[in-house]
Amino acid sequence: MSVVAIDGPSGVGKSSTAKETARRLGYSYLDTGAMYRAMAWLCLNRGVTDPVDVLEQVRGVDLEISTDPDEFFVSVDGIDVSEEIREPEVSENVQTVSAVVDAREELIDMQRTIIAAAPEGIVVEGRDITTVVAPDAEVRILMTARDEVRVARRAKELHGNADAEALAATQSQVTGRDAKDSATTSFLEASEGVYTLDTSDIDFDQVVETVLKLVKDSQ
C-alpha cells in the first residue's frame, strides 16, 4: 500500500491535485482539512469554544468521511455537512479545533486509521501530512505558490472571478488562516526529503503529471 502525502497553504491546488492523482492511480483520497472543518462546524453549532469542551466534542463525535475522490462527503453524527463546512464562518473558526493539541491528536489518530485501511494506496492532503500524519509516506510533497497567485485562485473559487473586490474579500481569508495555522503546523517550508512543487507558473495537468512521476519514481 502506497501513501502520497501532500501539504501546502490555501490556494495552491492541493485538493484538486490530490483528487485527480487518486483517480488516475486508482487510489483512495483523504481531505484531512475537511475533518477539522467538520469539527469546527459542530463546535460552532453547539457554541463550543473552550479547549476542554472542544476535545469532548471530538472524542464523542461520529465523524465519517468519504475516501472516494469522485464521491466526496463528510458527515457529523449522521448529518451530511459536505457543503456547510465550506462556509466562510467555518473557515474563520477552524482554529477553534486545530489549535487544541489533544483534539489534533484525536483527529490525527483517525486519519492514520483511515490511511492504514486504504486497500491499494491513498493520496492524503492537508497541512501536516508530510511531517506528522504520514512522515513515512513513499511520496511527500509540499505544494506552494506565490501569495498573489493563491489569493486569485481562491477568489475565483469562492466568487467566480478575481476582480479587485473579490481579491480584497479573499485576501484575509487565505493569508490570515495560513498565519494562524502556521503557529500549530509546519506547512510553509519543506522538511528534509519532502519535494517542493511550486504551482505558480504551471497548469493543472503539469502539476498532476509531476506528482504522478514522483509516485512512479518511488516504486
Place of cell 486508482: 26
14 is in an annotated binding site: yes
Q: Is 182 annotated as a binding residue?
A: no
Does 12 belong to an annotated binding site? yes
Residue 129 DSSP one-character state: I
Q: For residue 28, say whether it is annotated as part of any ligand binding site.
A: no
Q: Do 7 and 39 fall within a single domain?
A: no
15 marked among binding-site residues: yes
Quick one: 173 and 197 in the same domain?
A: yes
- Cα–Cα distance between 61 and 42 in angstroms, integer? 9
- Strand-pairing partners, residue 7, are 126, 142
* Structural domain ending residue among the three candidates 117, 146, 181: 117
What pLDDT score does 192 carry?
A: 79
Q: In the 8-state DSSP scheme, what is residue 131? A: I
Q: Are residues 37 and 112 in the same domain?
A: yes
Instruction: State the residue range of the domain holding 108.
Output: 33-117
Chain length of the chain: 219
Statement to judge: residues 135 and 214 lie in one domain: yes
Instruction: Work out the angle at residue 130's Cα, subtended by the Cα atoms of residues 124 and 132, and round it to the nearest 5 degrees.
Output: 100
User: Residues 105, 97: contact at Cβ < 8 Å?
Assistant: no
**Distance (Å, whole) CA 6 – CA 8:** 7
3-state secondary structure of 176: helix
Instruction: For residues 148 and 41, give the distance between their C-alpha atoms in angstroms, rounded to a whole number.
Output: 28
Among the three residues 66, 98, 117, which one is the final residue of a domain in this structure? 117
**pLDDT tens across 145-184, in order?**
988 888 777 767 666 776 666 566 666 666 656 655 555 5
Residues 159 and 192 grouped into a single domain: yes
Could you tell me the end-to-end alpha-carbon distance of the chain, in angstroms, rounded to an integer? Answer: 11
Angle at alpha carbon of residue 184, lines to 29 and 123, rounded to 5°: 10
Torsion of CA 150, 154, 156, 162, to 10 degrees: -50
Copy the grid coordinates of residue 122: 491513498
> How much is the pTM?
0.86
Residue 50 and residue 89 in one domain: yes
Domain count across the chain = 2
Q: What is the C-alpha separation between 53 and 58, in angstroms, rounded? A: 9
Asked whether residue 218 is marked as a ligand-binding residue, the answer is no
Same domain? For 77 and 154 the reply is: no
Q: Strand pairing partners for 100?
A: none
How confident is the prediction along the chain (219 residues), in pLDDT tens digits per residue? 899 999 998 888 899 999 999 999 999 999 999 999 999 999 999 999 999 999 999 999 999 999 999 999 999 999 999 999 999 899 889 999 999 999 999 999 999 999 999 989 999 999 999 999 999 999 999 999 988 888 777 767 666 776 666 566 666 666 656 655 555 555 556 677 899 999 999 999 999 999 999 999 998
Look at residue 129 in the predicted model and tell me its pLDDT: 96
Cell of 176: 490570515
Is 126 annotated to bind a ligand? Reply is: no
- The CATH number of the domain where 217 resides is what? 3.40.50.300
Of 99, 117, 135, the one marking the end of a domain is 117
Known binding residue 69? Answer is no
Q: Is 160 annotated as a binding residue?
A: no
Query: Do 55 and 39 belong to one domain?
Result: yes
Does 66 share its domain with 51?
yes
Looking at the structure, do residues 206 and 127 belong to the same domain, yes or no?
Answer: yes
What would the grid cell of residue 70 be?
A: 469522485
Distance CA 86, CA 66 (A): 16
Residues 42 and 13 in one domain: no
Task: Extract the C-alpha cell encoding 185.
Answer: 503546523
Distance of CA 17 to the CA centre of its chain: 11
Q: Are 40 and 85 within one domain?
A: yes
